[in-house]
């Protein structure tokens, strides 16, 4: 692995409007049952109005507009009537993006006034950034937080955890323990410093549902957080987005 600047040639950018417009392939494929004539007409009208498609959120083709994401739009799963390639965001992925958007809107002129934040949905095998060749782990999102000379690259995976392996056997959950050493190795090879790597699992399974079933059944919410497993539910002792951001802004590359 090497550090290099992300540009339109990266496969993760195949959904970028400019890439598609220039005839370089990519884009979304949306397939709708022929019987859904009204829905087809509504979506055709939406596609014809490109500005609305990219900068608004409507029910006809559910999607999230978040201007810190590196391409638009971000479609959301629509049920059996509509099939998308690549698939739209599932429920936990969509919730994460909405929570990140809400935090950015709230804090962009406060705690994040001196920082830049960028988000990118990571595609899967063959296109995205992956770890563990034998198992092919492609975290759902890559988050960049740039503050001064420091750049923090964070891999985030929102998903349900009821069937998760015990922590000591789960390489996905343990990825954060390996990334600091990897960051130093990549910096040395790339000749670029001031970059940190980190990762989090964001559990769509609630803390109350998971705590008695995870690992040996003794984990409290702070032990989960120490292991970089956070919960997206409201009402816990922390805002999980704030925790991710704050932990990165207090880190320093070595």
What pLDDT score does 81 carry?
79
Question: Which is nearest to 241 in space by CA: 117, 146, 151?
Answer: 117
My answer on whether omega of the bond before 78 falls inside 30° of 0, hence cis, is no
What pLDDT score does 16 carry?
63
User: What's the mean pLDDT when you consider all of the chain?
Assistant: 88
- Which pTM was predicted? 0.91
Helix (H, G, I), strand (E, B) or coil at 202: strand
Q: Is the dihedral of CA 217, 222, 228, 232 positive or negative?
A: positive
Query: Does the pLDDT value for residue 226 go beyond 90?
Result: yes
Structure confidence by residue, pLDDT tens digits, 52-105: 888 888 888 889 999 999 988 889 998 887 888 878 899 999 999 999 999 999
- Report d(CA 49, CA 53) in Å as an integer: 6
What pLDDT score does 132 carry?
74
Residue 186, class by beta-carbon neighbours within 10 Å (0-12 exposed, 13-18 middle, 19+ buried)? middle
In this prediction, residue 44 has a pLDDT band, given cuts at 50, 70 and 90, of: confident
- Report d(CA 105, CA 91) in Å as an integer: 21
Per domain, the residue ranges of the chain are 11-80, 91-249
What pLDDT score does 95 carry?
96
Residues 6+ apart with CB under 8 A from 159: 92, 140, 201, 202, 203, 204
In this prediction, residue 123 has a pLDDT band, given cuts at 50, 70 and 90, of: confident
In this prediction, residue 19 has a pLDDT band, given cuts at 50, 70 and 90, of: low
What pLDDT score does 162 carry?
87
- Residue 221 tokens read as 């919410």
Q: Which residue has the tokens 């479609």?
A: 75
Structure confidence by residue, pLDDT tens digits, 153-166: 999 999 999 888 89
Percentage of the chain exceeding pLDDT 70: 91
What pLDDT score does 55 carry?
84
CA angle 37, 42, 47 (to 5 degrees): 125
- Taken as a whole, the chain contains a residue count of 254
Provide mean pLDDT across the span 202-213.
93
């Amino acid at each position: 692995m090497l550090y290099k600047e992300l540009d339109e040639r990266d496969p993760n950018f195949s959904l970028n409007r400019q890439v598609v417009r220039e005839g370089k392939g990519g884009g979304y494929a949306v397939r709708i049952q022929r019987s859904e004539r009204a829905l087809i007409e509504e979506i055709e009208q939406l596609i014809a109005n490109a500005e609305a498609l990219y900068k608004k959120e409507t029910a006809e083709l559910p999607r999230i507009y978040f201007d810190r994401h590196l391409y638009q739009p971000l479609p959301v799963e629509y049920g059996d009537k509509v099939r998308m390639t690549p698939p739209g965001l599932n429920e936990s992925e969509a919730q994460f993006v909405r929570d990140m958007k809400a935090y950015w809107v709230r804090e962009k002129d406060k705690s994040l006034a001196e920082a830049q934040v960028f988000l990118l949905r990571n595609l899967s095998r063959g296109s995205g950034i992956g770890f563990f060749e034998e198992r092919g782990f492609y975290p759902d999102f890559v988050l960049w937080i740039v503050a001064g000379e420091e750049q923090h690259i964070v891999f985030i995976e929102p998903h349900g955890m009821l069937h998760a392996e015990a922590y000591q056997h789960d390489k996905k959950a343990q990825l954060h323990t390996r990334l600091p050493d990897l960051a130093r190795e990549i910096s040395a090879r790339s000749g670029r410093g001031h970059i940190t790597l980190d990762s989090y699992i964001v559990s769509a399974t609630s803390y109350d549902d998971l705590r008695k079933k995870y690992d040996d059944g003794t984990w409290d919410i702070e032990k989960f957080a120490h292991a970089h497993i956070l919960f997206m539910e409201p009402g816990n002792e922390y805002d999980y987005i704030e925790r991710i951001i704050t932990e990165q802004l207090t880190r320093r590359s070595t």
